[in-house]
Amino acid sequence: MGMYPTKEETIKYAAENRKYKPKVLLATKLYARLKPWRGTEDEQWDKLRIYCTMMNEAYRNDVFLVRDANYHGEGCFNLATHKITMSKVSVITFMHEYAHSLGKDEHEAVKWSLCLFKRIFKKSFSNIEFEGHMARKVVKDV
């Protein structure tokens, strides 16, 4: 087993079902109701910060979300500062980094985030495809 799951492992993990604390499911449902991808970029960040606060409440955690346009990469969690840094709003990336804040390794973080996303964002989940251990939204022609 490598540090990062392969595409095959990722697809297998995404197909699993796992249990979440009721408060986590509630927080994620409330976040979904806020329509994460709607509104201006600033509004989308505000919604993600609200979600981060609700997740902190659910886990008695103290993660701080940092928006850094100069950050290159999907996202990262800093264990020393308890900060998640992201350059753009991505629900799955946020969930993945949040999983790291709970002490989960790469395989567990991929599983945890994808299964949670699938459970609450059913329609969006059907529109993602996998690239290695990364899930990406399929951009459809409009």
Provide the minimum distance between the beta carbon of 140 and Zn ion in the complex, in angstroms, as a whole number. Answer: 27
Question: In terms of CB distance, is 43 or 71 closer to Zn ion?
Answer: 71
Provide the minimum distance between the beta carbon of 113 and Zn ion in the complex, in angstroms, as a whole number. Answer: 9
Q: What share of the chain is helix, strand, coil (3-state, %, to 5)?
A: 50, 15, 40
Provide the minimum distance between the beta carbon of 10 and Zn ion in the complex, in angstroms, as a whole number. Answer: 12
Q: How far apart are CA 139 and CA 119, in angstroms?
A: 21
Provide the minimum distance between the beta carbon of 129 and Zn ion in the complex, in angstroms, as a whole number. Answer: 19
Question: In terms of CB distance, is 3 or 139 closer to Zn ion?
Answer: 3
φ, ψ for residue 86, nearest 5 deg: -145, 150
Question: In terms of CB distance, is 29 or 101 closer to Zn ion?
Answer: 101
Q: How far apart are CA 40 and CA 59, in angstroms?
A: 29
Question: In terms of CB distance, is 28 or 97 closer to Zn ion?
Answer: 97
Q: How far apart are CA 52 and CA 58, in angstroms?
A: 10
Q: Which parts of this chain interact with Zn ion (CB under 5 A)?
A: 106, 109
